[in-house]
Structure 1
Amino acid sequence: MTTVIKVGGARAVDPAGALADVASLVAAGEQVVVVHGGSTKVDETLERLGVEPEYVETPSGVVGRFTDETTMEVFEMAFGHLNTQLVAGLQSQGVDAVGLNGVDGKLLYGPRKSAVRVVEDGKRKIRRGDHSGTIKQVNGDLLRSLLADGYTPVAAPPMAGTDDDEIIPVNTDADRSAAAIAAELGASLVLLTDVEGVYADPDDPETLIESVESSDDWAALEDAAEGFMGRKIMAAEEALTGGAPEVVVADANADEPILSALDGDGTHIKAGAVTEEQ
């Protein structure tokens, strides 16, 4: 069994529990791929440089980062630092971890998007100069080779973006990166974040949606997902329609966050709840 774990990049997320759980799974003979975000580190670095981080909303209501050239340089630096720290943390717990970004071996590969559609002040606009991309291919052979040899890949954006005849590093969403990897490997996906799962009322933790198994459940889940959670549900859909059997959205700060998520905590979304037609 292979499990893909996405460790969140929010300020409120402590990765220590997740790393301990990865070590437990690997020790039990499970194959694990870790994918990490880094939004907080990027924002903090930009702010130290006197640059205001910029987020935009798409016409579909999903919030994401606008990555200009300066932000892309900071992005590469921040994600490289985080990747090294996570690899070192896993190695300290006896896990033979290997750090990768999406450019390595063209692990994550697809076209650059230099212009994005956004909504500003209620109006639809096109913003140019973006350094982001859409994943079209995952080098699953690279991951499978590492896993077969006993290594635990720790992967992250940037991705290998095609720009005319060049390959350049470009930003891509870490949740969707994890989804693409889970789909390629046919693996279960655990998206760890700073809340317990998806809430029917985003402001009320008592309204946790525990299970999503039907198309009606899926419609309710989409209605409930707002802001950054909308991107996680988009990632869940991509993973499930691509071949992942299950996606779990769960609390990164819970005791044993991955083990408890696999044991039933969080929001569990089954492949049968969503089809490619949706």
Structure 2
Amino acid sequence: MTVVVKVGGARAVDPAGALEDVAELVADGRDVVVTHGGSTAVDDTLDALGMTPEYVETPDGVVGRFTDTETMEVFEMVLPGLVNTELVASLRSAGVDAVGLSGVDGGLLSGPRTSAVRVLDDGKRKIRRGDHAGRLESVDTDLLDLLLADGYTPVVCPPMAGADDGDVTPVNTDADGVAAAIAGALSATVVFLTDVPGVFDSEGTLIERVETPAEWRTVETVADGGMGRKVMAIEDALSDGAPSAVIADAGADQPVCSALDGGGTHVAPSAVTADSDAPEVDAT
């Protein structure tokens, strides 16, 4: 069974343990696809350049990055150019034949550009134009299957190939959504590594198993911010064919292996049904 590992981009997330686990899984003959974001690295670079990161809230309450032209240039420089290269180098140092790819490479990840986004501004609904974001609709599984069959471990990140008036242009897309789309397309288990042990209920207790629609609605209720985006990504992954999804702590001992062995919050496909109340939101 293929495993998709999404390494979180928060400042508190150290990928070292996850990469060691990936090397162990690959050595044991497992197919692994690593995905990642890098919002912290992007924000740090923007700050160093004297630019201010801009985040907007949609009418559905989802907060996402507004990626104007200058921010998109930084995004292209940092994610595939810096973060991806460092992860690939670390994996290769551990004996893994890792190959770095952005979603633009080979048209691996593609979908329409959504240059206009609905936002809330002082409580009013407005349209912001000029966003370099996209709605991920297609994963080239042939490319991933080819690499995996030849013994390579893909390390995938945004941007994706966005269709814009007939041209292909790099656009931002949500990194959790990338992991979900790849997991669904490959029918792979997906592990989201973050800076907390999983999803907690309103009493502060870790939710270990989510197997029914009622349990899923509880998760939707308590998850907000970045965790809310992961919950939406999990619904997409399971609906598209992933056999299971896990949210787990990147700082745990052997974070990937422990997640696959039962650690974190595990969600089964039976929890995500047509009557689930999860909102549909374009990832930006």
Which of the five TM-score ranges fits, normalised by the shorter chain?
A: over 0.9
Q: Does 1:190 align with 2:191?
A: yes
Determine the C-alpha separation between the residues in 2 that align with 1:77 and 1:65: 16
* Mean Cα deviation higher: 114-123 or 156-165: 114-123
CA distances 1:108-156 after superposition (whole Å, capped 9, x unpaired): 0000000111122222221111000001110001001100110000000
Q: Does 1:243 align with 2:244?
A: no
Determine the C-alpha separation between the residues in 1 that align with 2:2 and 2:227: 24
The answer as to whether partners of 1:241 and 1:276 remain within 8 angstroms in 2 is no
Determine the C-alpha separation between the residues in 1 that align with 2:34 and 2:108: 14
Q: Map 1:32-181 onto structure 2 (within 5 A).
A: 32-80=32-80, 81-181=82-182
Q: Which residue of 1 aligns with 2:3?
A: 3
SS at match of 1:222: helix
Determine the C-alpha separation between the residues in 2 that align with 1:75 and 1:277: 37
SS at match of 1:77: helix
Determine the C-alpha separation between the residues in 2 that align with 1:200 and 1:65: 27
Determine the C-alpha separation between the residues in 2 that align with 1:107 and 1:173: 15
Determine the C-alpha separation between the residues in 1 that align with 2:275 and 2:69: 36
SS at match of 2:236: helix
Corresponding residue pairs, total: 275
Q: Which residue of 1 aligns with 2:254?
A: 256
Q: Tell me which stretches of 4 or more aligned residues in structure 1 moved more than 4 Å.
A: none
Letter paired with 2:187:
G
CA distances 1:17-43 after superposition (whole Å, capped 9, x unpaired): 000000000011100000011000000
Residue 75 (structure 1) shift: 0.3
Residue 263 (structure 1) shift: 0.9
TM-score under structure 1 length normalisation: 0.97
The answer as to whether partners of 1:64 and 1:228 remain within 8 angstroms in 2 is no
Identity of aligned residues (%): 66
CA RMSD of aligned residues (A): 1.0
Q: Which residue of 2 aligns with 1:267?
A: 265
CA distances 1:31-85 after superposition (whole Å, capped 9, x unpaired): 0000011000000000011111111112222221110001100000110211110
Q: Which residue of 1 aligns with 2:207?
A: 209
The answer as to whether partners of 1:62 and 1:228 remain within 8 angstroms in 2 is no
Letter paired with 1:260:
S
SS at match of 1:113: coil
The answer as to whether partners of 1:3 and 1:33 remain within 8 angstroms in 2 is yes
Residue 276 (structure 1) shift: 4.1
Determine the C-alpha separation between the residues in 2 that align with 1:136 and 1:181: 11
Letter paired with 2:239:
T
Determine the C-alpha separation between the residues in 2 that align with 1:120 and 1:262: 42
The answer as to whether partners of 1:63 and 1:231 remain within 8 angstroms in 2 is no
Letter paired with 2:15:
P
The answer as to whether partners of 1:6 and 1:191 remain within 8 angstroms in 2 is yes
* Mean Cα deviation higher: 7-16 or 54-63: 54-63
Residue 277 (structure 1) shift: 4.8
Residue 194 (structure 1) shift: 0.7
Determine the C-alpha separation between the residues in 2 that align with 1:66 and 1:43: 12
| Structure 2 portions without partners, runs of 5+ | 277-284
| Structure 1 portions without partners, runs of 5+ | none
Determine the C-alpha separation between the residues in 1 that align with 2:109 and 2:274: 22
Say which structure is richer in strand: 1
